[in-house]
């Protein structure tokens, strides 16, 4: 082989890699900038851990003003009004995503998000303003968690759909850690001001990103959809033939979804429309099967105790008698949560969704069982050498197990499993279920700990994790590497 041939053969894989990256980086960029909205949502969620301790003290807003500290009940409402707002926001989110578009809806939410943070900055000692601000912020989070997964799933190629879908949960954890760090180094007022930057940053950067081509095709805007797909695939408009097959696949998918609802649209009678709607989601239909899987994933995601563990980390370590300072343990948990959320982005498109969910459910169950053992030994007065490290190890492994499966995967499997016609309204219901259960678990976790005891509380979460793992084994299909049409056909056959 000549030197020239050798150089060509060695350069070929490099050119293929460069070409592949050129075609996928716009999708990663668009999905990551869309997920900046999740950073805003994460900051809302993490603000309570850093902000409520300030509010509970009489001197917390300025150096010269004395402000009475909030009560325990007021603090609990400040924390829980956000998921309540998210529940309310998720209700119209699907309809609004279909009406305005995924991109425009997310951009619109930057305004109330900014307003909510400004209200917190200027609330001073007005508890009602704080309540209203937290509800508004939660409302925007509910809409974001519906629109962002829809957008990310619709812009991504099959081969990177999993990696792109993980960005939502990853960026959500970035927002939580951002507030933790800012709250640790800045006073309350400046911490809240720092949070107002996030929706502005999201709006400025995401404004230049195109709309989902699936949404544009569903509205009959073929030319705009073609331009959007060209940008997302790294292809110039003059060479749009390179994306012609994919564009046809999208059009075929949308046309196929519309066929099932065309009869009900042709009817002029409202009762006929209602009857045909329910017939279209009969028990064995693909949509109903997808709904059952999605609702199950969302339910087990919250009922396994994930939000409770994150919301009461300091209290958990204090009660478990951790060898390290509980606040230091909380920082460690936040860092490990962020790092472990990166893991699925590298392996989900290779390993698959189903196996990661099974590992996640089983792993969380083992960690919760370890916490049950720790509290049992404490109740029995048995002290084992080095067992003081068990709470820190168990909670961190719990976070890792959650972050590789139950944390991020339900969000992007939701639009993967649904037809285009069902995406909006089923996503809204699923996100409503997620936030409703998040509110209930977070609100009642302290009550369970007080009335049932730590062993029974963690034992309950342990049993739910086992049931959730069995649910995945029996009912959840693998969607790795499958097109939307293949997933829909698979659900129709089962």
The pLDDT tens digits for 110-157 are 999 999 999 999 887 688 999 999 999 999 999 998 899 889 888 988
CA atoms in the 13 A half-sphere facing the CB of 485: 10
Per-residue pLDDT at 77: 82
Query: Are both 23-234 and 281-494 of the same fold?
Result: yes
Range ranked top by mean pLDDT from 235-239, 404-408, 465-469 = 465-469
Range ranked top by mean pLDDT from 36-40, 231-235, 308-312, 333-337 = 36-40
Mean pLDDT of all residues belonging to the chain: 79
Grade residue 343 by pLDDT with cuts at 50, 70 and 90: confident
- Quick check: 84 pLDDT over 80? yes
17-38: b (≥16 Cβ within 10 Å) or e? eeeeeebbebbbebbbbbbbbb
User: Of residues 258 and 189, which shows the higher confidence score?
Assistant: 189
Comparing 12-16, 40-44, 190-194, 381-385, the range with the smallest average pLDDT is 12-16
Does the predicted TM-score (pTM) go above 0.85? no
CA atoms in the 13 A half-sphere facing the CB of 240: 14
Comparing 34-48, 203-217, 434-448, the range with the smallest average pLDDT is 434-448
Query: Model confidence over 435-472: pLDDT tens digits?
Result: 888 888 877 777 787 788 888 888 999 999 999 999 99
Sign of CA dihedral 413, 419, 423, 427: negative
> Domain map of the chain by residue range?
23-234, 281-494
CATH 3.40.50.10470 fits 23-234, yes or no: no
Per-residue pLDDT at 382: 67
DSSP letters along 240-277, please?
GGGGHHHHHHHHHHHHHHHHHHHHHHH---HHHHHHHH
Grade residue 209 by pLDDT with cuts at 50, 70 and 90: very high
For residues 253-259, average pLDDT: 67
Per-residue pLDDT at 284: 54
Range ranked top by mean pLDDT from 87-91, 311-315, 419-423, 480-484 = 87-91
Phi, psi torsion values for 419, nearest 5 degrees: -70, 165
Q: Which CATH superfamily is domain 281-494 in?
A: MFS general substrate transporter like domains (1.20.1250.20)
- Quick check: 10 pLDDT over 80? no
- Quick check: 322 pLDDT over 80? no
Per-residue pLDDT at 435: 85
Per-residue pLDDT at 327: 58
- Quick check: 5 pLDDT over 50? no
What does the alpha-carbon distance between residue 87 and residue 145 come to, in Å, rounded to a whole number? 11
For residues 349-360, average pLDDT: 88
For residues 341-350, average pLDDT: 78
What does the alpha-carbon distance between residue 289 and residue 306 come to, in Å, rounded to a whole number? 25
Per-residue pLDDT at 117: 95
- Candidates 459, 336, 467, 473; CA nearest to 407 is 336
């Amino acid at each position: 082989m000549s030197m020239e041939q050798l150089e060509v053969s060695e350069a070929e894989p490099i050119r293929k890699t460069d070409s592949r990256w050129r075609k996928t980086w716009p999708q990663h960029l668009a999905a990551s900038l869309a997920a900046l909205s999740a950073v805003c949502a994460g900051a809302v969620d993490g603000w309570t851990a850093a902000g409520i301790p300030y509010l509970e003290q009489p001197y917390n807003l300025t150096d010269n003003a004395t402000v009475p500290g909030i009560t325990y009940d007021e603090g609990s409402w400040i924390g829980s009004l956000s998921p309540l707002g998210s529940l309310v926001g998720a209700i119209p989110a699907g309809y609004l995503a279909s009406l305005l578009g995924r991109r425009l809806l997310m951009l619109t939410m930057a305004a109330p998000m900014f307003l909510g943070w400004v209200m917190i900055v200027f609330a001073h000692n007005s508890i009602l303003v704080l309540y209203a601000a937290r509800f508004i912020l939660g409302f925007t989070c509910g809409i974001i968690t519906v629109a962002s997964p829809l957008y990310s799933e619709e812009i991504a190629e099959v081969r990177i759909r999993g990696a792109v879908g993980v960005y939502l949960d990853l960026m959500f954890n970035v927002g939580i850690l951002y507030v933790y760090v800012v709250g640790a180094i800045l006073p309350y007022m400046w911490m809240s001001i720092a949070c107002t930057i996030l929706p502005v940053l999201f709006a400025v950067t995401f404004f230049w990103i195109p709309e989902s081509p699936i949404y544009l095709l569903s509205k009959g805007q073929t030319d705009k959809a073609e331009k959007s797909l060209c940008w997302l695939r790294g292809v110039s408009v003059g060479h749009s033939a390179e994306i012609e097959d994919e564009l046809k696949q999208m059009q075929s998918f949308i046309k196929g979804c519309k066929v099932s609802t065309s009869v009900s649209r042709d009817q002029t009678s409202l009762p006929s429309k209602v009857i045909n709607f329910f017939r279209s989601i009969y028990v064995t239909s693909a949509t109903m099967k997808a709904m059952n899987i999605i609702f199950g994933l969302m339910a087990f995601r919250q009922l396994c105790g994930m939000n409770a563990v994150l919301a009461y980390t300091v209290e958990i370590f204090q009660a478990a008698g951790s060898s390290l300072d509980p606040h230091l343990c909380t920082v460690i948990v936040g860092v490990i949560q962020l790092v472990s959320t990166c893991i699925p982005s590298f392996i989900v498109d290779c390993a698959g969704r189903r196996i990661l969910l099974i590992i996640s459910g089983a792993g969380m169950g083992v960690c919760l069982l370890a916490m049950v053992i720790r509290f049992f030994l404490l109740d029995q007065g048995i002290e084992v050498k080095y067992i003081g490290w068990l709470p820190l190890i168990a909670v961190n492994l719990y976070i890792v197990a959650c972050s590789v499966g139950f944390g991020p995967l339900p969000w992007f499997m939701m639009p993967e499993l649904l037809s285009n016609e069902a995406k909006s309204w089923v996503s809204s219901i699923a996100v409503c279920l997620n936030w409703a259960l998040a509110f209930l678990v977070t609100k009642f976790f302290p009550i369970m700990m007080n009335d049932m005891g730590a062993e029974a509380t963690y034992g309950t979460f342990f049993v739910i994790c086992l049931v959730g793992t069995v649910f995945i084994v029996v009912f959840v299909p693998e969607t790795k590497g499958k097109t939307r049409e293949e997933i829909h056909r698979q659900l129709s056959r089962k």
